[in-house]
Structure 1
Amino acid sequence: MMSRSALYSGQVCHVRFRPRRHRLSYRVFSLLLDLDELAWLDSKLRLFGHNRFALFSFRDSDHGNGEVGALRSWVERQLSEAGVDVKQMRIRVLCYPRILGYVFNPLTVFYCEASDGQVRAVLYEVCNTFHERHTYVIPVSDDEGGAIRQSCVKELYVSPFVPMDCRYEFNLRPPGETVFVGITENDCDGRLLTAVFSGEREEISDKRLFLTFLKHPMMTVKVMGAIHWEALKIWLKGMPVHRHRPADLRVATTIVSRFEQKDTLA
């Protein structure tokens, strides 16, 4: 069986432009997991587990509404509400895996692809350090040379140094030999910051997972550590602080219409 799942090793970079410039760059990796292959990967690989402990694992409870065994059906419900045909839909998830049981995913991307391979919708699942999760469900209105450009209003508090009154602009290239996820966050004065993940594809195997672990030991713990370390550096630069106001719902979803996309990106 030729796997549609893969491993992407690369780099995440953030640049903040105002009121003080701040840049960070870290070597990371992500897994791209086809939801229909999870059971097969769980049985084939010794170092990967689905809904169980392993060196690397993926748990349904970390995503969607948290219901174990129902992640695909949850995604399909969101797509149906957004007016997207879910027949023969392939759903692939780009995220950090749990490593020895621990993970924090600031952003998980769900690529929802029709049988012809074209991405028909993207789900952007954003998590913050207050254990709140918000998913933006955005149909793909066009495909210009494989690039996907989308936008939505920010609905979830993420950083104490970024106001809530912002918009996200997403710039994606669907996973192939490489993957690219770019996000620009704009406030009322224009571009505030950009964040980019780019990586190169590798096949998932026990050997590759073991070598990746040696190269990135406890990467998910380091992700959380880096968030707080960079926050300290930003605070020391005198950035204004925006206090957290708890979300109305700990887990929420926003359906972004095609009309709003056309109006926003025109």
Structure 2
Amino acid sequence: MASPYLTVSLEEILSISPDMRARFREKITPRRVPPEARTVAFAEVEEVADQFLSQVACDGNPMVPGGVVVPDPYEVYLRDIAPSRDAAQLTVAKESHALRSIVGLVDNKEYVEAIVDPGCQVIAMSENVCHALALAYDPSIRLNMQSANGEVDKSLGLVRNVPFAVADIVLYLQIHVIRNAAYDMLLGRPFDVLTKSVVKNYENEEQTITICCPNTGQLATVPTIVRGHARFRGRTAA
């Protein structure tokens, strides 16, 4: 009786205290949560997660102060549509097909639209253009052309030193001939390296490309055009 401490078990406390027993029962009894409350809670968790992800880079490290975040338009579209609407399927161009082109005079015969594609390792031309311009090619030099979707086309051969005139600059290109190509001509990485090309884009979606003659150092700025359909498809040599 003289001890200041008394050990009492939880069972004994609940048996002698109705108030404590009621509070304990309230805490441990399962409850049914309304669907609306679960939705609100999940939305709050998503909002916190989005705020966190918007402040870190892809590797999880904080973004550099002053950096500019370029939003993805499709992600913005998905966030803005109503929950009851089905999202439209987005179709994009193949990575191996550029969206801008320039026009050049090929072999001093005809102007041909050429897609500017720095992602391609070679310069290519469709079989239809090659035959229409009566260009001879070496069939012993063939390579596999693989697009971004995994499709592989084998080239027919190599045309050497084809004159390609843009403005007052004349370039002599080594061009691989491709059967059933989706383009007339494709200017790959060798064109960019040879001409030291500089591409400039504008807010109105216009684009220019500045090229340099490797021999004279002459510069020319050429406006690019929206890529059109392959004009020579279906044509045969005259």
Q: Same fold, TM exceeding 0.5?
A: no
- Higher RCO (C-alpha 8 Å, min separation 6): 1
Pairwise TM-score range, normalised by the shorter structure? under 0.3
Length-normalised TM-score, structure 1: 0.21
Length-normalised TM-score, structure 2: 0.23
The structure carrying a bigger strand percent of its residues is: 1
Q: Which of the pair has more CA radius of gyration?
A: 2
